[in-house]
Structure 1
């Protein structure tokens, strides 16, 4: 064997690119390969099943896709398990993991937690993320957490059943044991029943990320503790009804959320308005606000003004506002004046607004947005249930021109506009310094006629445009089917125009080379 293959660092780099089958072969190959291959092979587990299978074969069995013990493990049964468990640094599985893994019978976890020879089973574990609870019941989470060391930095528990007693045990483990915790995420499976506020003491100042399910809120005391954590950079939760935030006794931090950069909250308009009065989050750059109660036409401008008051125009780069609704509530009408406070955020890269109602944003409103957000990369303004009959308040194709001229970085655009009755003057080519970056245009329930002219306009205004996706033509009858068919025609034309432009560029290059050759010959003569 070559001398370089005896260097552990080189072997680790080689093993990092090998699949599990290859690593298993290398682990059985020779002593130098065994340690490195084993370290990589066991670095990340998606289940505890491989460790259970390390026990003697007469101790366990798999029945009906579930692993269970035939007898309790004794002191002599652990060495092989402990040999491999020390290599595990990540225990992660999410909802999108389609691998077929056996479930663990609750008895297995409880026995391992009770009979393990040391204080922990996974001494080097640093990251635990489990959002696929079909493998381990929620009531086994405390037993599972007892296997982890205090040095765990990331814990994500998702899709759990809401069991108050179990949650208190989880809270105790998190508070008392994981003193170095950096990120905590807790979400619950939707049950259709609103859960009460929960108390979750979070006393570690190392915490930088906290994510809670949008249907579970903190109590006021826990939220007050959160607001004083000096290192908390990311927060996702339901906002409680809180009127004041005060620093803890002996705490030198007086400004709420001093290090916060990312905020995702679900709230009522009343709670959020009160929150903006007591917390100025000038350092936050990414915001998602979901409002769960009905927002009236009178409340909407006040809501946008509160958003402007709480965040800094020089810092905020991503803003998402989602206004939910009930079927029996009044429809909102969004007019250009409502958007005025949000136009102050001139450094926005991403803007996403979804309301229940009608959008009355004309060409002038589109021009104002393009002037206000020159750095925008993704722009989405949609209605959950647009009025398909009223199309006179929509922007026209002319309204897209400012985005082509003033927003060179805009790559994703989703907006409702009227593409009917396109005028020849619309096809005039505007002056611009950069070629637009728009590649994806999503048109929802947009009226259209003359798809060839519309496609020609879009291809000239946005030369990089490759995808036009039309959707949401429900309740529009035969007219909507005709609109969708026309938009599909637009999508068919765009690649053809792109080929023509490519051919033209080649001809221009050939003509320039030919012209340069003629000039050289004339000089030589």
Structure 2
């Protein structure tokens, strides 16, 4: 049996749903509402200017939209600061265009950090979000962190890449915040220059469950090794110069416990392509979500190593989401044999393969993919520079296995040849469940007879309402193909309207039959 709430707890729950103007009026009362309203108002504050304004009026002033001290605050001047600051749970320092809140003079923030009478001004803070352009300059990030208690759970920093300040900032976070769960570091565009800077992490807290380092700042391999030993790390976002080198180091250091034993999500960019993965590399069998981005274009002969390496690193029974993006490169690559290692991932629900070079599939591989991935919901096999060569492309027949074996597939994107009309009148095999496909991405697909193509697609995928053309060039056959696919899309929208109207009539007729079959009351 649950404990009954007392009156202050009930009032606090009521205040949690009130707007700011109502809370401000309640805070001016001398009733039981006062303290509850104050607690809710101060729970989530958008600016440190509220903190400075808690000092006596003769201690600070606003000048040019900036708060600064006119004299050093004395010990008695902190009373209102420490009355309100324990209520703060979330501190979100965002850049808000048009906001009227004043900025804080950097010297004022350093003064608060140096003269604070206690270890932390915000002892109960749980979430800190600080972005570039907010009230706090990036150079003052260490001062800001010194105001926070050790029990903070989530830190989000978006700032300029400052190599002189960043290492000390990370060291301070690692040493002080032993209860930290989430750490996200992002950098402003233009502050990360080439060659890519390398970041070295200190020994991070063992309570960390998610670590994100964005914007192509490279982690050194020792930092990657440290992260691999965190027992609770579930999500990792980072960039490595050489992923294979990092995995070899991690595997060699895994003596007592396997690396990344709790990892479920891995979003990783690598500068060098993934080569042959030796058997000594420990597989990451618990990972369910993988996004792998290769920034340097691999040679065509290295493409098979990539997909064999993915099969070697991850468990077929665990992996559900796979996104592989290859940057650069313009050579057409024959991918049917290369993609076959991915057929072992029977639990796959989403697959994205995106390259700058041509992708070449065939009907046989489409059938194998459909049979291998019965749970698949999303497939996108695309190229930013697709070839207009129609040879070795799957035809419309290659779509039929997806309608038979993938009942949950709702989005499919690939390059196919819709010029062959011999399959358009084929009888479709009986299916146990209506296909769920609603969106088809036609990636630079050659086409003829748009009306027949639309009819075939509507029969194969009755729920399909959108066949959107993508990646069509402005020269060659591209504009004509795109126009024909737009016509296919118009047909599909028309078919969907007709089907919806037909369903309404079927329901009306069924209701009429049920009413006719009822025995009239006596």
Are 1:214 and 1:265, in contact at CA under 8 Å, matched by a contact in 2? no
Q: 1:67 to 1:505 in 2, by over 3 A?
A: same
Which range is displaced more, 345-354 or 363-372? Answer: 363-372
Separation in structure 1 between the aligned mates of residue 6 and residue 230 of structure 2, nearest angstrom: 47
Are 1:93 and 1:132, in contact at CA under 8 Å, matched by a contact in 2? no
Are 1:442 and 1:469, in contact at CA under 8 Å, matched by a contact in 2? yes
Partner of 2:449: 450
Q: Deviations over 1:276-310 (max 9, x none)?
A: 84231011111111112221111111110011011
2:236 alignment partner, SS class:
strand
1:281 aligned to which of 276, 280, 284: 284
The TM-score normalised by the length of structure 2 is 0.88
Partner of 2:169: 170
Partner of 1:411: 410
Report how far residue 102 of structure 1 moved. Answer: 4.0
Are 1:68 and 1:105, in contact at CA under 8 Å, matched by a contact in 2? yes
Partner of 1:310: 313
Are 2:93 and 2:135, in contact at CA under 8 Å, matched by a contact in 1? no
Q: 1:436 to 1:140 in 2, by over 3 A?
A: same
User: How do 1:297-376 residues align onto structure 2 when only pairs under 5 Å count?
Assistant: 297-325=300-328, 329=329, 331-376=331-376
Are 2:122 and 2:148, in contact at CA under 8 Å, matched by a contact in 1? yes
Separation in structure 2 between the aligned mates of residue 185 and residue 458 of structure 1, nearest angstrom: 44
1:119 alignment partner, SS class:
coil
Q: Deviations over 1:42-66 (max 9, x none)?
A: 2222332332333344544445544
Report how far residue 333 of structure 1 moved. Answer: 0.7
Partner of 1:85: 85
Separation in structure 2 between the aligned mates of residue 424 and residue 81 of structure 1, nearest angstrom: 76
Q: Deviations over 1:222-264 (max 9, x none)?
A: 322222222222222123544433787xx97332222211111
Are 2:234 and 2:263, in contact at CA under 8 Å, matched by a contact in 1? yes
Partner of 1:487: 485
1:211 alignment partner, SS class:
strand
Report how far residue 30 of structure 1 moved. Answer: 4.7
1:357 alignment partner, SS class:
coil
1:468 alignment partner, SS class:
strand
Q: Which runs of 5+ in 1 are unaligned?
A: none
Report how far residue 430 of structure 1 moved. Answer: 3.7
Q: 1:88 to 1:519 in 2, by over 3 A?
A: closer
2:400 alignment partner, SS class:
helix
Which range is displaced more, 118-127 or 171-180? Answer: 171-180
Q: Deviations over 1:63-102 (max 9, x none)?
A: 554443444333333222222221111123567x667254
Which range is displaced more, 212-221 or 178-187? Answer: 212-221
Partner of 1:259: 262
User: How do 1:117-136 residues align onto structure 2 when only pairs under 5 Å count?
Assistant: 117-136=117-136
Which range is displaced more, 175-184 or 44-53? Answer: 44-53
Partner of 1:245: 250
User: How do 1:53-132 residues align onto structure 2 when only pairs under 5 Å count?
Assistant: 53-92=53-92, 100=99, 101-132=101-132
Q: 1:171 to 1:272 in 2, by over 3 A?
A: farther
Which range is displaced more, 258-267 or 203-212? Answer: 203-212
Report how far residue 414 of structure 1 moved. Answer: 2.3
Q: Which runs of 5+ in 2 are unaligned?
A: none
Q: 1:76 to 1:140 in 2, by over 3 A?
A: same
1:256 alignment partner, SS class:
coil
Are 1:318 and 1:351, in contact at CA under 8 Å, matched by a contact in 2? yes
Are 2:277 and 2:312, in contact at CA under 8 Å, matched by a contact in 1? no
Answer yes or no: is 1:37 the counterpart of 2:37: yes
Report how far residue 357 of structure 1 moved. Answer: 0.8
Which range is displaced more, 511-520 or 497-506? Answer: 511-520
Q: How many residues align?
A: 511
Are 1:442 and 1:470, in contact at CA under 8 Å, matched by a contact in 2? yes
The TM-score normalised by the length of structure 1 is 0.88
Q: Deviations over 1:199-241 (max 9, x none)?
A: 2122422122111235223333332222222222222212354
Partner of 1:193: 194
Report how far residue 5 of structure 1 moved. Answer: 11
Query: Where in structure 1 do 4 or more consecutive aligned residues deviate above 6 Å?
Result: none
Partner of 1:431: 430
Separation in structure 1 between the aligned mates of residue 19 and residue 117 of structure 2, nearest angstrom: 32
Q: 1:19 to 1:417 in 2, by over 3 A?
A: farther
Partner of 1:499: 497
Separation in structure 2 between the aligned mates of residue 510 and residue 217 of structure 1, nearest angstrom: 63
